[in-house]
Amino acid sequence: MNQEHPLRIAIAGALGRMGGAVAITAATRPDVTVAARFDRPGATDPALMAMESALKACDVVIDFSAPAASAALATVCAGQDNPPALVIGSTGFDALQEEAIARAASRVAIVKAGNFSLGVNMLLGLVRQAAAALPAHDWDIEVFEAHHKRKIDAPSGTALMLGRAAARGRGSALTEPVSLDRNGTRTTGKIGFSVLRGGGIIGEHSVTFASENEILTLSHSARDRSLFANGALAAAVWVRAQPPGLYDMQDVLGFSRG
């Protein structure tokens, strides 16, 4: 997209924290324009548009709402004659919601990611490499995450991504859903998860590799929601040119190639 023909985006969940961050960040970019904003049915903000009208007014929808709303939105988009592409940043999907999004991706280009941060996506690669190099019988892995007290799902989508990266490094699969029950001694090779919810924490993630004699910790701290908004906008610009399919930030950043 160039400055004469900016990408038209619609923001779903526009009244939420991330919806607001996307709108503020988009206003600083000449290649993007906010063509529509919408939220849950019954929202009274006069600046909001009905979802049906918003989908016709945009090239890409950026959605940071909630799992059920995101899955329903993907289904609606897939039913359009000329569907907009979709960027989904919600986390905490159940199996049926994941299936609905996968079905929608047969007609819609969708970027779905648990985290839109460049730093986090770099961290995923480092965690996978470390897990591959450090033998499971000597090194325990613990994923820690902290978020604000209003976050519903736990562990976070990003924590699960980090757990899956560690499991792939060890040539296995992460079993989900993950239990946070820590009673009893630690099982060799099991990837553990710890969660903190409190205050206004934007996002803290770390992966600790612990042996009897040393500890290695890889971590990432989010300082401002604009970093996620910038990533979502980069995904929106990228996905508009893609064929229908289900993508993630590793695709957007080119890490999946080769």
- What residue segments make up the domains of the chain, in order of their start? 7-116+225-252, 118-221
Characterize 97-134 residue by residue with b for buried, 16 or more Cβ atoms within 10 angstroms of its Cβ, and e for exposed.
beebbeebbeebbbbbbbbbbeebbebbeebbebbeeb
**In sequence order, what are the beta bridge partners of 193?**
143
- For residue 8, CA distances in Å to 58, 152, 240 come to 5, 30, 10
Answer whether 74's CB lies under 8 Å from 87's CB. no
Tokens of 175: 């079993």
Helices (H), 35-156: 51-56, 67-78, 95-104, 118-133
Q: What is the pLDDT of residue 2?
A: 44
Answer whether 159's CB lies under 8 Å from 143's CB. yes
Q: What is the pLDDT of residue 3?
A: 45
Answer whether 110's CB lies under 8 Å from 101's CB. yes
Cα–Cα distance between 70 and 76 in angstroms, integer? 10
Residue 232 CB neighbours (<10 A): 28
**Domain boundaries 118-221, corresponding CATH code:** 3.30.360.10
Answer whether 40's CB lies under 8 Å from 96's CB. no
Q: Is the pTM of this model over 0.75?
A: yes
Q: What is the pLDDT of residue 60?
A: 98
Each residue of 223-239: pLDDT tens digit?
888 899 999 999 999 99
190 in active site: no
Residue 212's identity, in one-letter code, is E
Reported CATH class of domain 7-116+225-252: alpha beta
Averaged pLDDT, groups of 10, the chain, 258 residues long: 75 94 95 95 87 96 96 97 96 94 98 90 92 96 96 91 94 82 86 96 96 97 90 96 94 74
Check 112, 147, 205, 220 and give the catalytic one. Answer: 147
Give the position of tokens 């960027």.
87
- Three-state SS for 128? helix
Answer whether 144's CB lies under 8 Å from 167's CB. no
Which among 89, 131, 104 has a CA at the least distance from the CA of 248? 89
**In sequence order, what are the beta bridge partners of 146?**
196, 204
220 in active site: no
Q: What is the pLDDT of residue 183?
A: 84
Tokens of 60: 């890409």
Check 151, 190, 205, 220 and give the catalytic one. Answer: 151
Tokens of 49: 């548009």
